[in-house]
Amino acid sequence: MIAIEVHLDAEASEAMARDVRAGLQSEPKELAPKYFYDERGSQLFEQITELAEYYPTRAEREILARRSAEIVAEAGAPGTLVELGSGSAAKTRHLLDAMRDAGCLDTYVPVDISEEITQETARCLVEEYPGLAVRGLVCDFERHLERIPTAEGERLVAFLGGTVGNLYPAQRQGFLSRIAALLGPADRLLLGTDLVKETDRLEAAYDDSLGVTAEFNKNVLQVLNRELGADFDLDAFEHVARYDSDRERMDIRLRSLADQEVRLEELDVSVEFVAGEEMRTEISTKFTRARLESIYADAGLEICGWFTDAAGDYALSLARPA
């Protein structure tokens, strides 16, 4: 009942080297948020989700816990759930429960970068849901989206957690258009997005009083130290999290506390930072329903369901091919 395909390759580490080199040599410097998530980074993100200030994970869980039955009904009682960035599938169980209760649950397709977690999740789920087929895919889903298996019946493709907010508009447009191209007329996309709200709450969510987010942000330097033989001094940088209200996104950076030179042995480059210089490590876009509708329209999709938590902080939207 379990079949897992692995598509990770030597290309992945070459892609990282290329990406980091380009990012550190551009002006201003920038690193991609996907490099946050080594084992330590994933643990720190787990801790972030439990912080008082960080509401998105709780809000999304609330929606799934309360409204999965409606979501599944609105999606046409699909037999297959595809989940991009599935991880331990903690919140996914609400959707699987609702599919089981509706009598339509057949196949779960977890798509994740971690083989270990995907195997473990698959083992747990086939026990929890007798008869469930798991057809997992271990890959970078941005690069390997087209390898997602087709299915006999309807599919629901879930992209939860608000990760779409980390993409720049052009990247996001490309990604959503590729998802749209994968969807048959009866397939649906379920997308998790954080919503626009007061600056104070947003900035607190990304600069918590315990300093966990600061540590999470600086951990990317540790990843470069290990993967690329770099010598970043984590104490020589500070965490910066500002809301850009024009672009409606959090802008997360590391600010150099001194003039310094950093060596990246594997890339054979040295880069200079001046005191006060900021390097972006992540954006986290906040949405409104109207903005999402126009984003969907540009990707050939249209909204067919809108589910928020009671406080209206976060939304799960359902979309179909237009």
Interacting residues toward ligand AVJ by CB under 6 A: 48, 56, 161-163, 165-166, 206, 213, 282, 284
Nearer to ligand AVJ, 136 or 161 (CB): 161
Residue with the shortest CB distance to ligand AVJ: 284
* CB 248, min distance to ligand AVJ, A: 13
CA 250, 256, 261, 265 dihedral sign is negative
Whether 71 and 78 have beta carbons less than 8 Å apart is answered as no
Nearer to ligand AVJ, 121 or 219 (CB): 219
* CB 124, min distance to ligand AVJ, A: 22
Asked if the peptide bond before residue 130 counts as cis, ω within 30 degrees of 0, the response is no
* CB 83, min distance to ligand AVJ, A: 14
Whether 305 and 71 have beta carbons less than 8 Å apart is answered as yes
- CA dihedral in degrees (276, 280, 282, 285; nearest 10)? 90
* CB 250, min distance to ligand AVJ, A: 7
Nearer to ligand AVJ, 160 or 271 (CB): 160
* CB 139, min distance to ligand AVJ, A: 18
Helix (H) or strand (E) holding 119: helix 115-128
User: What tokens were used for 223?
Assistant: 């990843």
Nearer to ligand AVJ, 74 or 207 (CB): 207
Which amino acid type is present at position 1? M
Nearer to ligand AVJ, 206 or 243 (CB): 206
Burial 160-172 (b: 16+ CB within 10 A, else e): bbbbbbbbeeeeb
